[in-house]
Amino acid sequence: MEKAAIKAVEASDPVVGAEARAAPRFNLLIRAAKLVTSQGEFVCVVRDISETGVAMRLFHAVPTGDPVELHMPGGGVYELRAVWDRENEAGFEFVKTVDVQKFITEACEFPKRGLRLGLCFPITIKTLTQSSEGTVENLSQQGARFECDGLFAIDQTVRIASAESDLVPLEVRAKVRWRRGNQYGVVFDDTLTLADFARFAARLQCPRLLG
């Protein structure tokens, strides 16, 4: 692992609680992850970690509701317990003991797959010759998987818009990459920024988090 990827820092400013004061902290490169609560799935950015907890930043107010889990892009899932939050930052303690080295290694490796959220919402898919209704089943910054009875060819360009654009604005151009039955995978022409992706997810699942 490159030394630039992680850096041990003093524990005088703990991530969470009194127990964290004795635990060394590690400052990670900024890594996007998924915070899952009973309110939904949300984008977060892991800031630092110790054996006892983790600190993160979000792009909106911190979602609540148990259980709380942190899902890393590499597949690791960690159960959390909320300790503090201020504005768009929060600290959590791990419910179970965590192998910090394993966590850091997973966080610092380039994820094989981009962060995906299990978001479900109705869309309209348009081409030059047709317009069809469908439902997004998951979404990432780079693309989406949706279900639709319309027929689209591999590599065909389509325009996807949220069926409720006034409440959940989304309109993108995309290219069809795969098809299985009535399910399609598309790649967006323009990647969503992490902030736009995060706020879209919040608006869809829990609008009050956006203030």
Domain-wise residue ranges, the chain: 3-110, 117-207
CATH class of 117-207: mainly beta
Q: Are 104 and 54 in contact (CB under 8 A)?
A: no
Provide mean pLDDT across the span 42-63: 93
Cα torsion 66, 72, 76, 77 to 10°: value is 0
Check: CATH 3.30.70 for 3-110? no
Rg of the chain taking only CA atoms, in angstroms: 19
Q: What is the pLDDT of residue 102?
A: 83
Tokens standing for residue 26: 């590690």
Question: Which range is least confidently modeled, 53-62, 69-78, 119-128?
Answer: 69-78
Residue spans of alpha helices (H) in 90-188: 100-108
Say how far apart CA 95 and CA 69 lie, in whole Å: 10
Residue 8: count of CB within 10 angstroms of its CB = 9
Provide mean pLDDT across the span 126-140: 95
Q: What is the pLDDT of residues 143-190, one digit of tens each?
A: 999 999 999 999 999 999 998 766 667 899 999 999 999 999 999 999
Are 3-110 and 117-207 equal in CATH topology?
Answer: yes
Q: What is the pLDDT of residues 61-94, one digit of tens each?
A: 999 999 999 998 888 899 999 999 998 999 999 9
Q: What is the pLDDT of residue 120?
A: 95
Please report, in angstroms and rounded to a whole number, the separation of the first and last CA atoms in the chain: 40
pLDDT > 50? residue 47:
yes
Nearest CA to 88 out of 35, 139, 38 is that of 35
